[in-house]
Amino acid sequence: MNAAPKITGATRLYAIVGDPITQVRSPEVFSERFAAMGVDAVLVPFHVPHASFDAIVPALLQLGNLDGLLVTVPFKARMLRFARRLGAAAQTVGAVNALRREADGSWTGDMFDGVGFVRGAEAKGLSVRGRRVALFGAGGAGSAIACALAAAGVKSIAVIDIDPEKAHALVDKLRQAFPECAVSAARRMPQDVDMVVNASPVGMRPGDGLPGDIGPLDSGTLVGDVVIAAAPTPIIRHAMRFGCPHVDGRDMHGGQIDALIAFFAPAARAPAGLSAEVA
């Protein structure tokens, strides 16, 4: 995993697009993964100033040696229209965090934030199947996680958002896409849940508390948080206090990597000679 990327004229490009960009970890993670796989590709940061998004992005997608893009804040929803084909999660969420170039030059997009959460849990030996979930936050991250949880077989999802309309809109989308999952909008956390997920921004700022009135937890309750922070966030500290298993923003990010590598399938995109070499 410590293979160092080497860049030549034949190296294929992947990029992560965002504003700001300096905080992203994907260039290091994916460039090293490509090198370890023997694939001649690197992932570089593209700082797209948000005011220039419409001027820059369509042009970037015409670069002849760009095979894939990751998308971060604030472009996940705006990037959707550049994909000719969308995966199920992207369609339901209305946003993409990855695009890959197809053989015909068109782009296919999908959303892996939710899958990353489920895979991050699995990597810690935690299963979400059959759980009754309280989900705080019905925005992009919440939508992605809700889709992935429903797809992974949770029993029910209660969606809680300070904006009830957002909660109801997400519930409607989930009911259409996952009729077998009991989805509802809630004003406060239901009593009978065994999984609590924070997909709201609460916990990002110093001094933040919990995203809602969570109260004492049973030690079997699985607690999740999308916030990526150096120290445990309030809801993760709450989980630790009650001895609950937990999945944080870093677990979620790490959980996406294998899924994204499979989506990009970089070896299949390398020139014929190399492809044979790494097959």
Residues that are catalytic: 76
Q: How many helices, marked H, and strands, marked E, lie in the chain?
A: 10, 12
CA distances from 162 to 42, 136, 137, 212, 264 (A): 41, 9, 8, 10, 36
Closest distance between its own copies and the C-beta of residue 244, in Å? 32
Shortest Å, Cβ 102 to its own copies? 17
Using CB under 8 A, pick the residue from 33, 37, 38, 48 that binds its own copies: 48
Is residue 45 a contact point for its own copies (CB under 8 A)? Answer: yes
Piece of 17-25, 108-116, 133-141, 261-269 that binds its own copies (CB under 8 A)? 17-25
- Judged by CB under 8 A, does residue 273 bind its own copies? no
Q: Does 98 interact with its own copies (rule: CB under 8 A)?
A: no
36 sits near its own copies (criterion: CB under 8 A): no
Return d(Cα 54, Cα 42) in angstroms, integer.
Answer: 25
Site stretch for its own copies (CB under 8 A), options 16-24, 85-93, 151-159, 194-202: 16-24
CA 245 to centroid of chain Cα atoms: 20
Question: Quick one: angle between helices 140-151 and 164-177, nearest 10?
Answer: 30
- Closest to its own copies by CB, 178 or 264: 264
Of residues 33, 39, 42, 183, which one binds its own copies by CB under 8 A?
42
Q: Is 250 in the site for its own copies (CB under 8 A)?
A: no
Q: Does 38 bind its own copies (CB under 8 A)?
A: no
> If binding is defined by CB under 8 A, does position 9 make contact with its own copies?
yes
Dist CA 35 CA 17 (whole Å): 21
Pair of tokens at residue 54: 């419409």
Piece of 48-56, 112-120, 166-174, 237-245 that binds its own copies (CB under 8 A): 48-56
What the block records as the tokens of 97 is 């965090």
We find the least distance from the C-beta atom of residue 74 to its own copies, in angstroms, to be 14
Task: Give the number of C-alpha atoms closer than 13 A to the C-alpha of residue 18, restricted to the C-beta side.
Answer: 21
Rg of the chain taking only CA atoms, in angstroms: 19
Nearest to 261 by CA among 37, 7, 71: 37
Q: Is the peptide bond before 74 cis (omega within 30 degrees of 0)?
A: yes
Q: Tell me if the bond preceding 20 is cis, omega within 30° of 0.
A: yes
Single out the residue of 1, 8, 104, 216 in contact with its own copies (rule: CB under 8 A). 8
The contact set with its own copies (CB under 8 A) reads 4-11, 13, 16, 19, 21-28, 31, 42-49, 52, 55-60, 62-65
